[in-house]
Structure 1
Amino acid sequence: MIIIGIDPGIARVGYGVIEKGTRTIRHIENGCIETSGTNQTTSHRLHEIYRRISALLAEHAPDEVAVEELFFTKNVTSAIRVAEVRGVILLAIEERGIPVIEYTPNQIKLAVSGSGRAKKEQVQDMVRRLLKLDEIPRPDDAADGLAIALCHTNTLR
């Protein structure tokens, strides 16, 4: 089963692609979709994210996609932008008929590290260990994408 985990953001969307076997989990790919706020309208950035997520979905043909739920911060403008990004991501997934599951940040931390209050560094180190990687994936958003995908594997047991 191929699972893609997605960490939405307007400047950087992190993603991780893993394969869950009967008794194994294998790292396939991780990375980020980056958009620049310099000289780009929000609609242009959203279109770029949509286009690149669509290409990622076409390339890997996942069985399921896990997406981080919106974590409301004190910055309302930022929360609105992330909500818009989530919208184009969810649209791209829905157009392909791929099941999508959403997880809160605390659910992801708990599933990957064993504590819903784990620090970012602890979660990233567990991602490295669980996927038997030499290094923690960089940037942080890519590691977060993998953490979201790993979180989803716990619901499949």
Structure 2
Amino acid sequence: MRVMGVDPGLTRCGVGVVEGAPGKRLHLVHVSVVRTAPDEDHPLRLLGIESGIEALVDELRPDAVAVERVFSQHNVRTVMGTAQAAGIAILAAARRGLPVALYTPSEAKAAVTGNGRADKAQITRMVTRLLSLDTAPKPADAADALALAICHVWRGGAQHRLAHARRSRIEEAARAERERLAARSRGGSSE
């Protein structure tokens, strides 16, 4: 499975792509940061993030996208920009029919370090180790994006199977209901 992790941000939006499967070795495919200038007009910054993410999704062709779930911070202006960048990543995936998973920072930290309160240095060290990298990904936004992708590789497979099972049960229930209604309209009652 190839997963693109996105650590959303208005100035630095981390993007990391890994390939792997639960219990298998992970491989780095790509890591970068989509940047916008803080003094640029807000709409142009969003456009820059959108064009950067869209180009990376098209080039790298992930099977799924994992985005950091935006949570309330004290600075509303910062959280709004972060949420807008997250929305752009979600939209880019949705346009291509890719599944999207949202993970809290604690979930991604716990997945790669075993500690949901790990600091940035611990995350970077573990991502470097898990991907067998010679040098640590920088800045921290890049390492965080890779942590999100790793989190989804390890946890997303189970979530995908559960979602598929739920869809199958829903589809089966819908088919049974259609059959019941069809039988009822033909004059037979199945009640």
Please say whether Structure 1 and Structure 2 have the same fold, judged by a TM-score greater than 0.5: yes
Match of 2:112 in 1: 112
In structure 2, the residue matched to 1:52 is: 52
Task: Flag the structure with higher helix content.
Answer: 2
Render the CA deviation track for 1:75-113: whole Å, top value 9, x for unaligned.
Answer: 011111111111222111111111000000000110000
- 1:95 corresponds in structure 2 to 95
The CA distance in 2 between the partners of 1:33 and 1:96, in whole Å, is 20
Percent of aligned positions that are identical: 42
Counterpart code for 1:73: Q
**CA shift for structure 1 position 24:** 2.0
What's the secondary structure of 1:62's corresponding residue?
coil
| Partner residue, 1:127 | 127
Alignment partners' CA distance in 2, 1:119 and 1:24: 24
Q: Deviations over 1:17-42 (max 9, x none)?
A: 1111572211111010000022x211
Q: Amino acid of the residue matched to residue 125 of structure 2?
A: D
Change (3 A) 1:48 1:116: same
Task: Give the residue type in structure 2 aligned to 1:97.
Answer: G
Query: Any gaps of 5 or more consecutive residues in structure 1?
Result: none
**CA-atom RMSD, angstroms?**
1.2
Aligned residue runs from structure 1 range 15-94, under 5 A: 15-21=15-21, 23-38=24-39, 40-94=40-94
TM-score, structure 2 normalization: 0.78
Larger radius of gyration: 2
Residue 4 of structure 2 aligns to a residue in which SS? strand
Greater mean alpha carbon deviation, residues 84-93 or residues 42-51: 84-93
More strand by share: 1
TM-score (norm 1): 0.95
Higher relative contact order (CA 8 A, sep 6+): 1
